[in-house]
Chains A and B, each alone.
Chain A
Amino acid sequence: MMELMVGPVLALAIGAGCRLLDIPLPAPPKLQGALLVLAMTVGYLLGDKFLGMR
């Protein structure tokens, strides 16, 4: 449970730090791009579930 709370806070800090220090971000700098990455993962997991049902 603790890890689930630390992870997002650390990710937010990494994103903010990259912007403040002008370092390239290891993620898409636009929210739409990040949501596309999320959509790919969701599609992968849906495929995993679908193939597991067959």
Chain B
Amino acid sequence: MSWKFCVGLLLGLTIGFGCRWLAIPVPAPPMLVGASLVVAMTTGYLLADRFMATHPARHHQDCGGPSGETKETRT
């Protein structure tokens, strides 16, 4: 864990604390369950990203481009 990430976490904590202190709406879900769902969504996104990186499309060369030609250069 880098020191920049630690500073970011500390800043996040301070922003949340300050928002409650000054009665400002917090730019995050005010419930822990909601914030956990945000983390879960990001985790699902990253897992799918990793899956797609390890399973490249095998028939990509057979797929047609905008004109229907299979070997044309895509823009």
Q: Classify chain A: how many residues form its interface, as a range.
A: 35 or more
Q: A7-B37, A32-B5 are in contact. Are A47 and B45 (CB under 8 A)?
A: no
User: B-side interface residues toward A, CB under 8 Å?
Assistant: 5, 8-21, 26-49, 51-52
Interchain residue pairs with CB less than 8 A apart (22): A7-B40, A8-B40, A11-B44, A12-B41, A12-B43, A14-B41, A15-B40, A15-B42, A15-B45, A18-B48, A19-B49, A20-B52, A28-B42, A35-B39, A36-B8, A37-B35, A37-B38, A40-B13, A40-B19, A44-B19, A47-B19, A48-B20
B13 touches A29 (CB 8 A): no
A2 contacts the other chain (CB 8 A): no
Cross-chain contact of B41 among A4, A27, A48, A51 (Cβ < 8 A): A27
- B33 to nearest A CB, angstroms? 7
A44 touches B45 (CB 8 A): no
Q: A41-B29, A45-B32 are in contact. Are A12 and B13 (CB under 8 A)?
A: no
Q: A7-B33, A8-B36, A51-B21 are in contact. Are A25 and B15 (CB under 8 A)?
A: no
